[in-house]
A and B are shown apart, each in its own frame.
Chain A
């Protein structure tokens, strides 16, 4: 049984208690490990994620369980077929990004909650906080493609607020109107609306920002969702000033319901990004097996900060 301070972490206490009552292995095992390894740092983050989640339609426990089991169903299929479930962007757009039952049902909340419930995602988030956030300086203007639930934008704005930076304007572009609605709600809980500008758009078609207008960029879990990652990276490069950092997270062998492009190796992903006008500054590669050695899940994820040439 996991014991945490109910007064200090009320949401986490209820959430973990409900998960434990269902099964002490499924997800709970990962939460236990993160609590043991990171203590209050971890549970403070879990509490924040639960505060940010939209629990009006589906409980956080159901969101994380539905998101996790849908992902695992696809991973089982990937093990059996060695190919992703979807090849067509339009098909995924109709079934996922433009489907309120999925996006507002379990997808956005579930994906947000994985940041604190899946070890691999928690480590990726720590990488972001340790290696990319310090590169987002005061008065800078940045752009995130595929902001999804909006947690990265939240972290950047929170840093600006904590450091007393007057203005750190961030732009966000996402394909889904439901992401726009979700992330706007999430950010408005804590920040003034003039600090962020979120829009619907498709980086596969165009990116309407002036050349060299941005001082940092984010493309976290984006290029595996589209058909021509190189074109998207070139569009992002066009918007970034030279020497600006670009944060990239890209998994391989990870058959999420909306992934259409798989990569043969982490090296292939790195070379692709470098070929579009970036140099690698720092990286870590995280795999499910690293955290669960017995797992048959072959997911590996490149987590890196590149610099625009």
Chain B
């Protein structure tokens, strides 16, 4: 799966969970830019991503995601060869 496909899928998940317009998301978008992106929503986002890409993140990885770009990078790394 290439980066553009990952970005497309992630944007769809973000839009569903936070009810926002996909076009407002950039690599630098962080929790403080999105209404409702609290710790429960953060984990809801992560579990949706894990399900979509059939991957699993550790607690340390989950806590370390600060921006949309961090998430894209992590998914890209975990899906290499898939």
Q: Interface residues, chain A, CB within 8 Å of chain B?
A: 19, 22-23, 25-27, 61-62, 65-70, 72-73, 75-76, 79, 106, 292, 294-297
B41 part of interface (Cβ distance < 8 Å): yes
How distant is the Cα of A25 from the Cα of B32 in the complex, in angstroms?
9
Q: Tell me the bound Cα distance from A292 to B37 in angstroms.
A: 12
> How far is the CB of A14 from the nearest CB of chain B, in Å?
15
CB of B81 within 8 Å of the partner chain: no
Give me 20 A-to-B residue pairs in the complex whose CB atoms sit less than 8 angstroms apart, sorted by A's number.
Answer: A22-B63, A22-B64, A25-B32, A25-B39, A26-B42, A62-B58, A62-B59, A67-B59, A69-B46, A69-B62, A69-B63, A70-B59, A72-B40, A72-B42, A72-B43, A73-B43, A295-B39, A296-B38, A296-B40, A297-B40
For the A-B complex, the count of residue pairs with Cβ-Cβ distances under 8 Å equals: 65
Complex Cα spacing A69 to B63, Å: 8
Measured between C-beta atoms, what is the minimum distance from B35 to chain A in Å? 8
Q: How far is the CA of A65 from the CA of B42 in the complex (A)?
A: 13
CB distance from A6 to the nearest CB of B (A): 23
Asked whether, in the complex, the Cβ of A73 is within 8 Å of the Cβ of B39, the reply is: no
Please, which residues of chain B bring their CB within 8 A of the CB of A292?
A: 38-39
Interface hits, B4-54 → A, CB 8 Å: 31-32, 36, 38-44, 46-47
**Does B3 touch A at the CB level, under 8 Å?**
no
Distance of A178 Cα from B46 Cα, bound (Å): 30
B43–A65 touching, CB < 8 Å: no
